[in-house]
Copies of this chain bind each other. A is one copy, B any other.
Amino acid sequence: MTDGKLALIPLGGATEIGKNMYVYRWNDQYLVVDCGLMFPNEEMLGVDILIPDVSFLLERKEQVQGIVLTHGHEDHIGALPYVLRQLPVPIYATRLTLGLIRAKLQEHSLWTATQWHLVEDGDRVKIGAFEVEFVHVCHSIPDTCSLVLRTPGGTVVHTGDFKFDQTPVDGRVSDMGALARAGDEGVLALVCDSTNVDKAGHVRSERVVGDALDAVFHEAKGRVLVACFASNINRVQQVVDVASRYGRKVAAAGRSMERNIEIARELGYLTVQDGVMIRLDQISEFPDVEIAVVTTGSQGEPLAALSRMAMEDHRHVKIQEGDTVVISATPIPGNEDTVFRVSNNLFRQGANVIHPPEMDVHVSGHGNQEELKLMLNLIRPLYVVPVHGEYRHLELWRRMASRMDYVAIKLENGDVLELEEEEAGITEHVAAGTVFVDGSGLSGVEDVVLRDRWHLAQDGIFILVLSVDKATGRLIAGPDVISRGSILTGEVEQVHDETKTRITEFIEGLPKDGTVDWAAVRTDLRRTLNKFLQQKTGRRPMILPIIMEV
């Protein structure tokens, strides 16, 4: 590693996994941008969350100057409770982002020990050798920033998540002036969002969603329930606005929705007229046409409020004929199934359910191709570094940049990208894994544990226990058989009995002079049982032969 060169080292988010965490290095100083988590896919059995492995940072604790957060989404702030515990460095964020972080750290009893700095967009903050300018950009949560990172080794613009909505709900357009000024000064690298690089044109304005919601409320003859991300405060604002317009009260369902609304109101990001918000347990006190509910569960998450309503398992909301449910979000790839399941169940109970492509009740928070190009033309960097996407996104960005005569550099997590005017290149690779968190605390779940769970999940487990006399090798108890998830009720008796008979015969056939190698017998038994069960049942459960030498 060469000191004296500005470097970018993504620990998560270069291509997905563990999620967003970008480290910038100047001389011996390190600045971290974002600290996010990721939710597991269905193959990561029993895993609760994924976070980036920060061992690289822990090895240089003293040199880490702080963590800057671009916005308040989980994939950008969610790992803070896990990382700050090991790396208690100052954090920097705008008002709403900090409010959401505060709630999260308070839950983990970490807030009082945290050194936090409230910044505003437009601020230029010195953090060690880095000067960080916070530039307001539009996204699906208010108070999102792009960062202009100025160092003696040059300037980098780190976009974070963004889009260029020209008519945003809160009226705060992306600060193109500040971005253009940075571009005029000269920028080494644009480290840029890639999420929607495969989509042509512009993302339609949030205003479109407001119009669609208005149409829904206009038609609705009963209650209206709108599911969206709890962090999408502007969407909640739109629901509140349209509900007020139609004389409806608004109640919040779901813990994170309640909490975020409270934080957003307290900090001035959500404007609600007096008397509009009511508690969820009050909705039955009003006629249906005077009720709107904003709820969590837009991704079909099984424990979220909307799923509970769909399963007739919600304490305060029982879905009824005449209800209109708006799913104001697009399913994240892989969630389509669960969202549709929730939708079917809502329909079954008499609700009318409205999904995005049917009506424009959702737009993305990430800019499409034309917005990415606009960013590129504002910044005019020497190098483009696409991040925050899957591999194909980075490659599509590279091609798009190349057609605009820019050079794009694709990174993997852990790559050290050194940046100079003359050249830029990956000079080494540092540790950058993913920690699978399940159960309590920080212990990471390893591959071997996941492999075991996967094996158990496929065909269950088949356990054989027997006690033998150490001295003579005689069977003195068992064999007993215990199976879980492997043998069906109809076949269990026969399979268990036949196993017992075979194993008894086998053990009785062994020498009785105390010379038996029981470890070898165990291996034999596993092999024999594996073959036998495969033949009998077509399955290959995990087989555990347990021999107790008494």
Chain A interface residues toward B at CB < 8 A: 15, 41-42, 45-46, 198, 333-334, 336-337, 340, 343-345, 347-348, 353, 355, 358, 390-392, 395, 438-441, 443-446, 448-450, 452-461, 463, 465-467, 476-478, 480, 482, 484-491, 537-539, 542, 544, 546, 548-550
Q: Which residues of B contact A542 (CB under 8 A)?
A: 484
Q: Which residues of B contact A538 (CB under 8 A)?
A: 438-441
Which B residue sits closest to A42, measured CB to CB? B42
Q: Which of B333, B391, B455, B490 contacts A336 (CB 8 A)?
A: B333
Q: Knowing A458-B45, A537-B439, A548-B478 touch, does A488 contact B449 (C-beta < 8 A)? A: yes
A491 to B445, CA, bound (A): 11
Q: Decide if A460 touches B454 in the complex (CB within 8 Å).
A: no
Which B residue sits closest to A490, measured CB to CB? B443
Q: Which of B45, B334, B485 contacts A334 (CB 8 A)?
A: B334
5 tightest A-B CB contacts, nearest first: A439-B538, A440-B538, A457-B457, A452-B485, A333-B336
Give the dominant DSSP class at A's interface.
Answer: mixed
Q: Decide if B198 touches A391 in the complex (CB within 8 Å).
A: no
Q: Decide if B458 touches A344 in the complex (CB within 8 Å).
A: no
A532 to B476, CA, bound (A): 32
A231 to chain B, nearest CB (A): 23
A42 to B347, CA, bound (A): 23
A355 to B42, CA, bound (A): 23
Q: Decide if A467 touches B391 in the complex (CB within 8 Å).
A: no
Q: Knowing A46-B460, A347-B395, A461-B461 touch, does A548 contact B467 (C-beta < 8 A)? A: yes
Of listed A347, A390, A465, A485, residue having the most chain B CB within 10 A: A485
A48 to chain B, nearest CB (A): 9
Q: Decide if A477 touches B445 in the complex (CB within 8 Å).
A: no
Q: Which residues of B contact A392 (CB under 8 A)?
A: 340, 343-344, 347, 353
A448 to B490, CA, bound (A): 12
Q: Decide if B452 touches A484 in the complex (CB within 8 Å).
A: yes
Q: Knowing A334-B337, A340-B392 touch, does A480 contact B550 (C-beta < 8 A)? A: no
Which B residue sits closest to A478, measured CB to CB? B548
Q: Which residues of B contact A45 (CB under 8 A)?
A: 457-458, 485
Query: 19 A-B pairs, CB-CB below 8 angstroms?
Result: A45-B458, A46-B458, A46-B459, A46-B460, A46-B485, A334-B334, A340-B392, A344-B390, A439-B537, A441-B538, A449-B488, A449-B489, A456-B457, A457-B457, A465-B465, A467-B467, A477-B548, A480-B548, A548-B548
Q: Decide if A333 touches B344 in the complex (CB within 8 Å).
A: no
